[in-house]
A and B are shown apart, each in its own frame.
Chain A
Amino acid sequence: MTTTIYVPRDSSALSLGANQVATAIMHEAAARNIPVNIVRNGSRGMFWLEPLVEVVTDAGRVAYGQVTEDDIDSLFTAGFLEGEDHALRLGLTEELSWLRNQERLTFARVGITDPVSLQDYLDHDGYKGLHQALTLAGSDIVQQVTDSGLRGRGGAAFPTGIKWKTVLEAKAEQKYIVCNADEGDSGTYSDRMIMEGDPFVLIEGMTIAGIAVGATQGYIYVRSEYPHSIETLNLAIKTAYASGYLGRGILGSKHDFYLEVRRAAGAYVCGEETALLESLEGKRGLVRFKPPLPAISGLFGKPTVINNVISLATVPIIMDKGSVYYRDYGMGRSRGTLPIQLAGNIKHGGLVEKAFGVTLRELLYDYGGGSASGRPIKAVQVGGPLGAYLPESQFDTPLDYEEFGKLWAVLGHGGIVAFDDTVDMAHMARYAFEFCAIESCGKCTPCRIGSTRGVEVMDKIIAGTEQAQSIALVKDLSDTMLNGSLCALGGMTPYPVLSALNHFPEDFGLVKKEHAA
């Protein structure tokens, strides 16, 4: 009998030697004359355990963690093909508490299936949402997405259904669906995990969006830093075309939908939707003035739905199980689930998909297991490089767009980066300005000039010269950037800067706590 073994093809697993592990298993099996079938799955999201190898047994999939090529011989000898005990054995994957306590809706298949197998996708509820959508009028699909309460998961949290409705109602001979896969925020990798671990769900979501609003062409704009995502998406797209899920007359219907991957070129600002559209048009990624909204005048001046990977990848389950099913998760106006990414100085880093309402403390300690260094966690930055730093006193905040807003913080794309007590927050504030200066598109003055001035002023603060004036200047500069920038890059750089100053004044050479914002 052939044993099936799963070894992830996810970039993070590869970065820890998953390919070498897969090769070693193949060679060892051949040497022992044992037939094995190695499936390259996505990651389960337990990155501290990668490379995580799973063996299919009668009892279920048995996991072995942190496997290196040097362990393969002893694993075979211990009988891991039958799920036998070994120092690296973790137990049945489904029973691991990290996974069992999650609510995986968008990530339902990631790590479980072979990402490039359409059959595997279909066997695990894939394309059910599309079949449902094909029975509905475009306006009914849009209504379902609106009713689900889904809000843009890229960070802006704008209701997805409202965006779609605007495009649906716009009159044009050509409309577009654009997927923003320019996941540049530090501490985030959920888009990457979907593209590498379940690309068909994104393709399905975009196809449904196309049918809903009457768009026939889609583009996925993927970071150049994600070569494996691009490769996996292209494989899946090719299969979808060959099987009638993309192209002319999808599944024999009157709907056409064509889809293409476009590779970005390393500009963070292209994650901003209008800069992304400029880039797709082959131009410098300069932010556009709004209005007009992309929904009215987007790609090539046509009505365009532009959504994040996670937003689009969540549409199939909403169409399949209904808007009420999805809306029943979450709290307040934050409905459904959020794929949270634990990163930085954290013991158990990885992907936790939970309904909104889970607290930072639960995520950092119950899931994350505290810091990797074993020292106290001093601060966490939530929502990428433009997100605020939160001190320990705010760790009981539930993940909810509005609750975070009250703290002058953001959830963004759901990335949480932990720092232990060795971090110098003045240094991090300086870095926020520096990053903005490097990545500014240069179109508006507050961002272009303000960021560089910010670095200079922070240097004075760090050097301890002209302390009081410099801090007043940082606040003034932040105010200008906050209110005067064209987009979130300049407009939100003050979040990490001022939150660091507010919560950790001692790192700025101040004794008394001052309030900047």
Chain B
Amino acid sequence: MHDQQARIKSHIESHQHMASPLLPLLHAIQDDLGYIPEESYSNIAKALNLSVAEVHGVVTFYHHFRTHPPGKHVLQVCRAESCQAMGSEALETHVKSSLGIDFHQTTSDGAITLEPVYCLGNCACSPAIMLDDQVYGRVSSKQVDRLLADAKEAV
């Protein structure tokens, strides 16, 4: 906990002097910790001369930011039209039932967080998913199962 506060403090210090630093700072914190702890709002607000409400407002506006730690791996399944045209809905149903969770939830073992995403820019290779930082194209249910099994093993 103490370590976390120190890391947040150092991110604040390295960002506070840039032009409109809030989004880059929030990215830095989430990249480092996996989420943006609500306890950090007051320190961020003070350093950037904002109100806590403004910080909260920004964090909660953007789909990318999360206020709670995700699972060990984050799986994003594209729901946009191009992927729908190539069967992403069946893929989505398969992933949800095999993981036993819905979107925005984490498996009970803490291994996988499932999120929807609206376009990964991989539309000529639909359907697409992103597992952590890696995009996969022309994905089949079998391939997702394999990727998830590998990811769980690596936990």
Contacts and interface: CB of A to CB of B under 8 A. Distances in A.
A265 B123 contact: no
Interface stretch (A78-86, A182-190, A398-406): A182-190
Interface string B82-104: 11111000000000000000000
A477 interface: no
A188 B85 contact: no
A134 interface: no
Contacts of B124: 12, 47-48, 189, 341-343, 346, 349-351
Contact of B23 (A50, A189, A263, A344): A263
Interface residues of B, number: 42
B86 to A, nearest CB: 6
Contacts of B117: 225, 266
B47 interface: no
A372 B26 CA distance: 41
Nearest to B120: A225
Interface stretch (A90-98, A411-419, A485-493): A411-419
B140 interface: no
Interface in B101-132: 117-126, 128, 130
B71 to A, nearest CB: 18
Contacts of A223: 121
B69 interface: no
Given A192-B121, A262-B24, 5 more contacts: A16-B137, A187-B81, A285-B61, A349-B123, A438-B118
A267 B118 contact: no
A132 to B, nearest CB: 31
A227 B84 contact: no
B137 A12 contact: yes
Nearest to A227: B133
A372 B87 CA distance: 12
Question: Which of the four size classes fits the interface of chain A?
Answer: 35 or more
B113 to A, nearest CB: 14
B118 A431 contact: no
Interface string B15-35: 000011111101100000000
A163 B144 CA distance: 46
Contacts of A121: none
Interface of B: 19-24, 26-27, 48, 54, 57-58, 61-65, 80-86, 117-126, 128, 130, 133-138
Nearest to A432: B81
Contacts of B137: 12, 15-16
Contacts of B22: 282-283
A16 B138 contact: yes
B95 to A, nearest CB: 17
B68 to A, nearest CB: 16
B120 A343 contact: no
A281 interface: yes
Nearest to B57: A284
29 contacts: A12-B124, A12-B137, A16-B137, A184-B119, A186-B123, A187-B82, A187-B123, A188-B123, A191-B121, A224-B27, A225-B119, A264-B64, A265-B63, A266-B62, A266-B63, A267-B63, A281-B20, A282-B58, A283-B22, A344-B82, A345-B86, A349-B123, A349-B124, A349-B125, A372-B86, A381-B81, A385-B118, A415-B123, A419-B85
B46 to A, nearest CB: 15
Contacts of B64: 224, 264-267
B123 A343 contact: yes
Contacts of B136: 15
Interface in A194-237: 223-227
B122 A15 contact: yes
Contacts of B19: 300
A232 to B, nearest CB: 13
